[in-house]
Amino acid sequence: MLKLVTILGVSLLIVLHELGHYLFARAFGMRVHKFSVGFGPTLLSRRFGETVWQIALVPLGGYVQIQGMGEEADPGDGRGFKDKPRWQRALVLLGGPVANWVVAAVCLTLLASTVGLRDLTTPSTELDTVEEGSAAAKAGLLSGDRIVAADGAPIADWDALVSQIRSHPEQPLLLTVERGDGRVDLTATPARSGDHGVLGVQPAARIIKYGAGAGLVAGVRQTVALTVEQTRLMIGVLTFQRDGKLSGLPGIVKTLSAQAKKSFGRFFDTLATLSIVLFILNLFPVPALDGGRLAFLGVEAIRRRPVSETVEAWVHGVGLVLLLGLILFVSVRDLL
């Protein structure tokens, strides 16, 4: 049941992303032929106005079909995507990522006023997550442990702990751990990742609960902080300065399900983080993504004339194939 809820949650993020495109397209008078929830053969469909709304067989995301976007606009119609000014086309492309950002802000605002928000500014050395099969798990570290010293040196905060772990790749590291009312000494050997060590742990966070009014401010502030945090993380991973890996749908479902088992507050917190990740990823200048299409608009603005439709279609087509191949690869890797 949790996995089904998780899959539906991920699908909802993608559907709301497409809804953002739809709302901006309609606001600028573009004709939208179809809005699909899911992919594949149609299960149910109904026309409202000039748009066909459908539910498809595979409930993983969805898509919106705007006239003139990926197809030729009707001659003389004037309502196609490419018939509109560049600024309107840019806002239509930004509508999807913006929708994901707003969804994250709504989730975090609701959490702030109910169960509370994680304090991202003061991560402690208490462990929240210990990855299965990691060096930390092999050493006997548990969720809830607080690491207070490494090789006899006091550990004041999470950054100090990370520094010790990174400097001991494949080298034994004696950790003094507060567990319950006592202390235990455990020896962990961080795995090697490049030229530094990794342990496979995540910090616990202090939870702060806000009132209704303050919850809105806190939710938006947390969304901004999360955007900055995830952007830095992605840049660090892409430049090989931080550890991390891409996850496919199986990995995402596993992570979200694990959080849902702890509490629905943790589930929505993680869902908000995923929504921010979608916001950032879709702005990358990668063909077939919104950022790639925005890049073509930028080239058009510089050249003061559109890029050849054939060239653009070919670039996005190749990008889509490569993107689907990457998704398939990481999804299969998650299952192995």
Task: Please identify every residue annotated as catalytic.
Answer: 18
- Rounded CA-CA distance 186/150 in Å is 10
- Rounded CA-CA distance 154/146 in Å is 12
Instruction: Kindly give the residue spans of alpha helices, DSSP state H, lying in 32-118.
Output: 86-113
- Rounded CA-CA distance 205/229 in Å is 15
- Rounded CA-CA distance 190/205 in Å is 23
SS3 of residue 114 by DSSP: coil
SS3 of residue 237 by DSSP: helix
* Cα Rg of the chain (Å, integer): 23
At a CB cut-off of 8 Å and minimum separation 6, what does 44 contact? 54, 55
